[in-house]
Structure 1
């Protein structure tokens, strides 16, 4: 029992190290945080909708497929291009976002789904670190897999929820131009990560 709790504790620490690292999901959480107090949790929910099946797929052997350089290169190229478009869209609509300050529930949710599914960095994390954690979880027995997933996803919900509520709670203290700058910065951050993904993918494929 002690070793199982120690493993779950290590999952929390390792998961937080990945969750706290800025990336497309983080950038989108900032952008959506201006619109909706609960956007962080909605994005985390969309993120987990992609993540849970991924954990199951890795358990069933997907990690072997993801170790192929050509596969990772193709995923990185496609995901990078899509993230460039998404980042540009966030940058382009920054004025409308600030002016409306309203969002539909499904928009933040789907933002979580898309920024996760098309994020090559996230997939690479699961193909390496995540795959190792999944393999370790299974050594305790099948029963450990849902607990492992729950601890990891909880870290996502806590961090994204905190970021979303912090942005929403402090937006009244910022001018409209600063709202636009932060949202534009979020879009630019997504584009930077996307370009890095594309660059790495091209190096792998060529």
Structure 2
């Protein structure tokens, strides 16, 4: 059964939030750029990140879709296992996760360019899109254009919301989430990934 619009919108947002929350070079770029450009750096870094993802999405749809379209069960298995693994790693990493606001604004550069470069140079970005991302993307495409757009909108809404929250907090001189709250949120996202990975496997096996 093809996924619904609301379902993929929620999945896109939740999965996107999990990736955005994870400490990494794009998050650091948002913090550094904010110190130089103000709160608007968050949305601009998100734009750069989205540009990098557009290229990845096009590649997946024009490349992997042709080769994996006939192997939906393989996509389900790989995607489901990847979701569970990433969820478990997210949950474990959440115990010691923190957002470093002490970074220097030196070499912050253009926020949009920073978003592109830090995304494309991050191995996690490529691994995620070739496992979890590709599986969810192909699932969304199977539901039609509207369902596909719902997934993408949800995914980018999570990125925009999180990086804007970070840049606004840094611009005001403090992070808007305490470390404990941040870790709880990250842990919740990890459990969501595990749960959705199991659901993804079970529903895919029944097709």
Structure 1 residue 142: Cα displacement: 3.1
Aligned: 1:140 with 2:143: yes
What is the Cα deviation at residue 62 of structure 1? 4.2
The number of residue pairs the alignment matches comes to 137
1:126 equivalenced with 2:129 (yes/no): yes
* Structure 2, gaps ≥5 residues long: 69-102, 175-207
| 1:155 corresponds to | 158
1:4 is matched with which residue? 5
Deviation at 1:107, TM superposition (A): 0.8
Scaled by the length of structure 1, the TM-score of the pair is 0.59
Q: Calculate the aligned-residue CA RMSD, in Å.
A: 2.7
Of structures 1 and 2, the larger Rg is shown by: 1
CA distance in 2, matches of 1:129, 1:118: 18
1:131 deviates by 0.6
Runs of 4 or more, structure 1, over 3 Å off, are 62-65
User: 1 CA distance for matches of 2:40 and 2:126?
Assistant: 26
| Higher fraction of helix | 1
The Cα of 1:135 is off from its aligned counterpart by 1.1
Q: Is the 8 A contact 2:3 2:140 kept in 1?
A: no
Q: Is the 8 A contact 1:33 1:164 kept in 2?
A: yes
| Cα distance in structure 1, aligned partners of 2:135 and 2:118 | 23
Q: CA deviation at 1:160?
A: 0.7
1:35-73: per-residue Cα shift (whole Å, max 9, x none)?
2221111100111111122112111224879xxxxxxxx
Contact 1:55 1:149 survives alignment (8 Å): no
Whether the aligned pair in 2 keeps the contact of 1:25 and 1:116 (CA below 8 Å) is yes
